A and B are shown apart, each in its own frame.
Chain A
Amino acid sequence: MRRPWLSLPVATAALMITAAPALACGGLIGPNGAVNLLRTTTFAGYHDGVEHYVTSFEFVGGGGAFGSITPLPGIPTDVIRGGDWTLQRLILETDPAPEAAFFDAAALSGGESREAEVLLETTIDALDITILRGGGDEVGLWAKNHGFRLPPDAPEVLDFYADRSPIFMAAAFDADAAAERGQAIGDGTPVHLTIPTDNPWVPLRILGLGKAGGEAVEADVYLLTDDRPAMLPDAGAFGQGAGLILDHSERATDGLLADLRSDVGMEWVPDKAWLTKVVVDTTAAELTYDLAIDVSGAGEPSAVDAGFAPFGPDPAPGAPAALYLLIVAALIVAVPLLVERRGRSSAHQPPLSGA
């Protein structure tokens, strides 16, 4: 039985790239013209040092092939077809539709070769999933050589991620194959990645890839963590969360956790957890960051994970501040001395001739 809310326009790829043959003279649009990106919904659950990242690729009609590249915080140990209702159940929890007042999980069934290194390949429904490791150039070259046509901002965006985590998921979706498989328009293919990592981390900037600066970027991000997470940017905080709205932040209900746990691959869901929903509602030009999350309890999400700080070894604690203090102190001491000396010397200088 198909629930009405299952046809919600949810869950599409993190970004869109055409798999059309590259045509050099301008203005040509690939065969993805009929494939529309809808609102994106992703889920990042974190428990026992493992991030469970679930996103979905929705078939919205049109022919040909298209794909996406999603940056990941680490190397997945497993990539499987996601459960059938996890994303929809989360939506129901935070945005209950009137016609779906209750949830009954039991009723659902469910050149110079510098290419990136391929870590894992798998096929899920009509999706060919490849996990890659490499820098921005390597991943971009791999994508190009595998039929992806990357948009013009791809080189910069890929570097933005590769500098911090050189792991990417490439998903190629064959719409013709999907149609042959009998996938109807609106059907989604959820993908569940299991990623051991110190802290969960959700890529956001990639959602604006290929969009004009003023184009809207809308997405729903669900987090399920043991405790209330600290986030950067801090959604909802004054002056920080521009474009991010903290839509839900409460201890997860037992009913939700039980429903999630009953879905395929979701046995890991703990007995107690905190549910957070962050709504991304901004423009591509404004979305220059990712969502860093600290679940350690220290309340210090990483500026590097958020894309606010350049990747690299942290400077010695306090070094820049100490340097600035030294400069300021030197100025405080030096300026009065110089003024005093200048005053003295000008007092002893002979007047200029004619003055």
Chain B
Amino acid sequence: MIGSRPALVVVALLLAVAAAATGCGPGSQTITITIHYTAFDPAEIEVPRGVPITFVLVNEDPIDHEWLIGDAAFHDAHRTGTHASHGDVPAEVTVPALERAQTTITFDVAGELAYACHLPGHEAYGMVGLLTVRD
């Protein structure tokens, strides 16, 4: 057991530094979602309720995508929507080809929300994900 305590301290320090570097403090959280071959990675995310979550959306594809998050009614509306692009609403983000975008959202209600791209054919191709807000 001799020498294990300093090692634990070092590990704890490293974790703290890593958490600070990624914005994963108790008051906020950063999640990077990569878009590759018209798919979200990760496609399942769990976040705490009431904490600001910064989503960094990295589009590795040479085509535009969007990241829209909401409930079923929200997605129904967007499937037939006519917006040329998104950006004014935190839950509706357009990510141009080979670029990245960022948005911050605080989820106040626990439950499940879906995120998807509603550009023609993209959702059917599998560009959907599930976000769970836990208490």
Contacts and interface: CB of A to CB of B under 8 A. Distances in A.
B109 to A, nearest CB: 25
Contacts of B61: 137, 140, 155
A137 B60 CA distance: 8
A156 B125 CA distance: 12
A152 B84 contact: no
A111 B37 contact: no
B97 interface: yes
A91 interface: no
Contact of B63 (A28, A140, A212): A140
A107 interface: no
A151 interface: yes
Contacts of A329: none
Contacts of A28: 82, 120
Given A137-B98, A153-B125, A25 B64 contact: no
A112 B96 CA distance: 11
Contacts of A138: 62
Contacts of B121: 151-152, 210
Contacts of B82: 23, 25, 28
B127 to A, nearest CB: 7
Interface stretch (B6-14, B25-33, B73-81): B73-81
B85 interface: yes
A21 B125 CA distance: 20
A336 interface: no
B81 A25 contact: yes
A27 interface: yes
Interface string A139-178: 1110110000111111110100000000000000000000
A29 B125 contact: no
Contacts of A112: 98-99
Contacts of B80: 25-27
Given A136-B62, A153-B38, A24 B83 contact: yes
Given A140-B61, A144-B63, A152-B38, A114 B119 contact: no
B86 interface: yes
B20 interface: no
Main secondary structure on B side of the interface with A: loop
A144 B64 contact: yes
Q: How large is the interface on A (under 10, 10 to 19, 20 to 34, 35 or more residues)?
A: 20 to 34
B62 A24 contact: no
A111 B96 CA distance: 9
Contacts of A154: 62-63
A141 B97 contact: yes
22 contacts: A21-B84, A22-B119, A23-B82, A23-B120, A24-B85, A25-B78, A25-B82, A26-B79, A26-B120, A26-B122, A27-B81, A28-B82, A111-B96, A111-B98, A111-B99, A112-B99, A140-B63, A152-B122, A152-B125, A152-B127, A155-B36, A212-B124
**9 cross-chain pairs, A with B, having the tightest CB-CB distances, nearest first:** A140-B62, A25-B81, A26-B118, A152-B125, A155-B61, A152-B38, A26-B79, A156-B37, A137-B62
Given A144-B64, A150-B62, A154-B63, 12 more contacts: A23-B82, A23-B119, A23-B120, A24-B64, A25-B81, A25-B118, A26-B79, A26-B123, A151-B121, A153-B125, A155-B61, A156-B38
Interface of A: 21-30, 111-112, 114, 136-141, 143-144, 149-156, 158, 210, 212
